[in-house]
Amino acid sequence: MAGLLHLHSTLLPSASALRRRAGAPGPSTSRRRCRVEAKIREIFMPALSSTMTEGKIVSWTAAEGDRLAKGDPVVVVESDKADMDVETFHDGFLAAVLVPAGESAPVGSAIALLAESEEEIPAAQSQAASFSSSSSGAASPPPPQESDAQEASPPPPPPAPVAVAAPAPPSPAAQGGARVVASPYAKKLAKDLGVDLFSVAGSGPGGRIVAKDVEAALAAPKKAAPVVAARPDVPLGSTVPFTTMQGAVSKNMVESLAVPTFRVGYTITTDALDQLYKKIKSKGVTMTALLAKATAMALVQHPVVNSSCRDGKSFTYSSSINIAVAVAIDGGLITPVLQDADKVDIYSLSRKWKELVDKARAKQLQPHEYNSVIFEIPFLRPHLFCTFTLSNLGMFGVDRFDAILPPGTGAIMAVGASEPTVVGTKDGRIGIKNQMQASFLCLVELVNVTADHRVIYGADLAAFLQTLAKIIEDPKDLTF
């Protein structure tokens, strides 16, 4: 549980709801009606990243009518980067679900109603019906229509699906190819104990897997069953819509086309690095961490390569060196960030990298752990951003490729495979050495057919590459 940051939904009274409910039928006095409305709060779709414009409801971890305490998780939201638990800021009862599991809602729109007491649940459900009727005829879902006449016009049956959609499947984790719905601690416990969450039946709200379910699964006898159900084949010729993450990647790639870039390639001999890796691999050191550490050490000597231009009028020298590394995950990719990579020892850096990769593949990264823009994000504390990116396809045998520059950054390095190559030695003989090829994509401003390197000049990048080569070819300082 340590180190996990849970994002909280903002629960605020709806001013429009107060005005709308003021005319509700019933023998209560106006004072009573005002008191009731003050106890019904909206749960909003939070912004979980700077690029998020809408979120998809993965599952509701509480059902309508459930009592909730401040800090209890109520819903799992899929952003453009990860799945995250959203907690409440208030005690109360989940009175009505406005957006069922599997559907999306814009950031800032109401997705559920929270009543302070059981007595207020009927009033909240009546309010939810008006949300449903208003959203069906309005372009913008968040603000409901204020007209009492419009509230009365739709027949009562249509709002019923709001209540029907609330109960979650009994065991989401057991569905073939589905996303596991479990508490963060249960996921961590399952990872530590080697328990496959797809084989665990959840006993929490809506079938959510909790820690005791993992412990029970560990004690149960092993079953000879498939580990993970195969994903159904997509029929040829079919059109598949983007997932939230794929949509975000597409948007970023299109934005990158507006950035003028150039590429510089360099060949680095890796024999010494390979020998060092073999010596310290047993201590948990990864090659990715070694490359990130070497890159960070070179950036210390060449801060301009660690700079970036965001407004087209100036560039910023970053105060820290945060290395983002691209990780392929199911349905997309994400770039976890190794912060202050120049200051962290290689063993701690490797442990951190393994932790980030595990969380990335489980879609449990927190916003401050992956690459995002520096700008402030609603509902979130200011968080770190990447200053340099690595993309490594060497494990696939790729010798050279181009990487697309992420928006808001100054440079990205594409790393190919280290392969035996015939080279000339210093004494004029022919020898065989392992070599790695790296190519760079850098942010510049072009004012004519020659590049006006307003941020990173060709000489700057060439000097950086020379420094990086020296560090990799004589890597003794990487372990200090």
Q: Taking the CB of residue 194, how many other CB atoms lie within 10 A of it? A: 7
Ranges assigned E (strand) in 280-329 = 323-325, 327-329
Give the C-alpha distances (Å, rounded to integers) separating 124 from 3, 43, 300, 428: 36, 12, 57, 84
Among residues 31, 131, 142, 38, the alpha carbon closest in space to that of 90 is found at 38
How many Cβ atoms sit within 10 Å of the Cβ of residue 165? 18
Give the CA distances from residue 44 to residues 97, 99, 140, in Å, rounded to whole numbers and listed in that order.
11, 10, 14
Instruction: Report the DSSP pairing between strands 110-115 and 40-44.
Output: antiparallel
Under DSSP, the state recorded for 399 is: -
Residue position matching structure tokens 């929490």: 204
The order of strands in the sheet holding 92-97 is: 11-13, 40-44, 110-115, 92-97, 67-68
Tokens 């195969």, located at residue: 230
Active site residue 453: yes
| Per-residue tokens: 347 | 């063993």
411-424 β-sheet, strand order: 261-269, 430-443, 411-424, 388-392, 323-325, 337-338
Helix (H) / strand (E) element for 279: namely helix 271-280
Q: Which residues contact 305 (CB under 8 A, 6 or more apart)?
A: 299, 388, 410, 411, 442, 456, 460, 461, 464
Q: Which residues of 249-283 are buried (b: 16+ CB within 10 A; e: fewer)?
A: beebeeebeebebeebebebbbbebbebbeebeee
Active-site positions? 453
